Structure 1
Amino acid sequence: MRLATFTDRTAGAGVADRTAGAGAPGRTTRVGVVRGDRVHPLDEPATMRELVERGLPAALEAGERALFGPSLALDDVRLELPLEPASVRDCVAFAEHVDGVRRSIDGASGVPDAWYDAPTFYFTNPHALYGPDTEVPFPATSVARDFELEVAVVVGREGRSLSEEDAREHVFGYALFDDFSARDLQGREMQVSLGAAKGKDFATGIGPWIVTADELDPYRDGDGFLDLWCTASVNGVEVGRDLLSNSGWTFEAMIAYASRDSLVRAGDLIGSGTVGHGGCLAELWGRRGTQDPPPLRDGDVVTIAVEHLGSLTHTVTSAPPAPAVPAPRRRDPHQARTQHTAHTKDQ
């Protein structure tokens, strides 16, 4: 079942205002089931987050009821950010991507031994999420702009220190996930050995809807991986293609690791990490030794697509220039402590 958050374009509001978040001002945002070229609204006012928190069986039941009710043409609605998640984690589960991006970001090659330990992740910004067909504002100073083709799993139940097997019951569904990246900012700040921050937290694309777990179960291979083709294009030209099953870990393993000595909750979103073989531009830059294809520019249209999940399109733009970062205070800590101690004794 495809569950979408949408607004009705025919309900008196203009359609030009496309903003981040789950709904534009002045519109009534609803949740519905997408079936063919129609959207069937749920028969109760619920956000997608509320629906996820009720659990997959209850969501499927509500969706089935909606299919017997009124519907709208898909062309007459605007698909919004499908979910406002409780948190957003992003894993790095594709070895081919790791190798290529390392070459691009820090000149290293190969996959670090530590990558094989677990599906490592970082937390990204749940307040800078963009739904389908929106403009994505990159930092004005960034000149190495990139997309990242991923799939995210939506957690449907709370759990702590889950096993991979147990985590199977915690999968609500899946959505496309585009981890937009300012590679020049990322490369500089990661020299501090703390991880990605401002190179990542300005925008993540999610959508166009959530496909419930039962819909994709038939596409699992013998090891439990989803065997689906993933493609990425810029301005209509394909630049990457890979199998989602080339991941090092299943989505259940990602949920289990996120919950390890911690907690996952319904509504959490966990990205797979970027697929290989051109799932982002930086991987290609690392392998080719040159920025080919070139970094994204204002006006570029990025589309990622995954079999049975749909496609997700965004247009690149620039955010207004941000204030300058203040220079750090530079002082000799030892001298400061000594002077402070002497001053205290004098008093």
Structure 2
Amino acid sequence: MATLTIASLKKDFKGTPVLKGISLDAASGEFLSLLGPSGCGKTTLLRCIAGLETTSAGSIHIAGQDVTDLPPEKRHLGMMFQSYALFPHLSVRENVRFGLRMAGDQPKSRQKELAQAALERVQMGHLGDRMPPQLSGGQQQRVALARAIAVEPRVLLLDEPLSNLDARLREDMQIELKELHRSLGLTTVFVTHDQEEAMSLSDRVVLMNGGVIEQIGAPEEIYAAPRTAFAADFIGAANLLHATRSGRWAHVTASGGEVLVVGEGADGPGRVMLRQEDLELVAADDTAAMLAVEVVAHIYRGADVVYVARIGEDELRIVMPRYAQVFPAGPAAVRWREGAARWIAA
């Protein structure tokens, strides 16, 4: 059963369409990520779900109830903002109790119990008497998360909650967030522009672009079988070669080479998608080579090396192990496993 259902949702700002007919649902207990570049509409969609923005058309249902025109406090949602939005003059415990106090449907003693239980959930139970300025960024984030879950929401909304953390702490919090979601079983809608966050946390990813949904699917589905060039490039920064399809073969424009492709599509122009990690750089005269390239640069990253190569006007990036043969600038070739070349129609 869907806990959240959005149908034909539109949102205009001063006549400019920002959401152009969004329809999607989130199943009970599902972790759904809204992913896309800045300005794609993902945060506006989250704010519409929360009731912080009015909609221009369409509907929002939560647990079967039409909440499209209800104020935020009547939607039974928990929300965590990018800025955390903690009150500096309230203790940690009182910050977490704030939503319960505003709802006013629990006695004060019960509010305190729920607030303390939420703090325990995020390993902050021992710091309830501290003030927000006395906490680190990671601790403040946990307090904001505790406040969001203390109200026992039907849907938890998270607006880029990890973006203000450094890389190591962000990775730790991803693990904690996933474990918390597993233990609570809350339907969660998570906004991010970071594809790695979306891939690691989500049951399904909603990829947005220009106010519309580009593709919805499990992380492995969108990564392995993107339906558009935008999806291929945004998720994993794929290599995209201009080509013309004829049957199961694609004629690569720049090189004149013929490539066996997988994926549906009619004959005609499009792109051949090759993931960076699926490619192997080999010598120009290698008999197993599939396309000739010109190596122009390489980038050492510690665990691996990224080679930049060109085929005419198209660029290829190839990820190779750090212990593999070093290729200097100049002629070379690439090969890949069977089925790695996927067709994307124009």
Interval containing the TM-score (normalised by the shorter chain): under 0.3
Considering fraction of residues, name the structure with more strand: 2
What TM-score does the superposition give when structure 1 sets the normalisation length?
0.21
What TM-score does the superposition give when structure 2 sets the normalisation length?
0.21
